[in-house]
Amino acid sequence: MNRVLVLCQRKTGKINTQTSENVSEQINPAIEEVTSDIIGEPCTYEYMSPGLVELDGTADYRFALDEKEEAKTFIRNNQKGYKAVVFQTCPIMNVKDSLFLVYSLLEDNGLLIILAVIKETKNTVFINKIDVTLKPPFGEFVTELYEHFERTNQPFIFKKKFKERKP
């Protein structure tokens, strides 16, 4: 079964402080549907979020993908363990330093998927497929992105680059 790691998203908990609606009923099914369609095979989903106490909820991993010891242990134990990593509403400027870490978590030919699935109205979940190359403030992020990933034929999906080992 393909494993997918969803960053910046809780597994359960309120969508926001103004509602009692749960991310597990509104947001996560949309993320999972889009991601499964992209991969084309069944997947299991794991959620990573440092968390917002006021929104309660849970995540499989309650820390950020960064250089702290907890994240380093996670990366060591899960190298090449994921078919895809999803940046779900992650603040792009804050995750540019995480791209190499994401790269190490992905299987060969794994995918980085950049989404913003948000609840727009009472009955509508909005899925924004982000093309980061269109926005000038993403300069450093795009440079780092293309060092580890290559574009696919879809604007919000990037494939892990094959890097030859130097002898």
pLDDT tens, position by position, 138-155: 556 667 777 777 777 776
Domains of the chain: 2-160 (3.40.50)
Sign of the torsion angle spanned by Cα atoms 97, 100, 105, 110: positive
Q: What rounded mean pLDDT belongs to the chain?
A: 78
pTM: 0.79
Rounded CA separation 131/5 (Å) = 20
Q: What pLDDT sits at residue 140? A: 65
- Tokens for 14, please give them: 């309120």
What are the angstrom distances between the C-alpha of 82 and each of 26, 45, 103, 119, 148? Answer: 24, 10, 10, 27, 16
pLDDT digits (tens, 9 = 90+) for 52-61: 655 667 889 9
CA separation for the pair 31, 4 (Å, rounded): 11
What mean pLDDT comes out for the span 116-126? 58
Residue 166 has pLDDT above 70, yes or no: no
Report which DSSP code applies to 123.
Answer: T
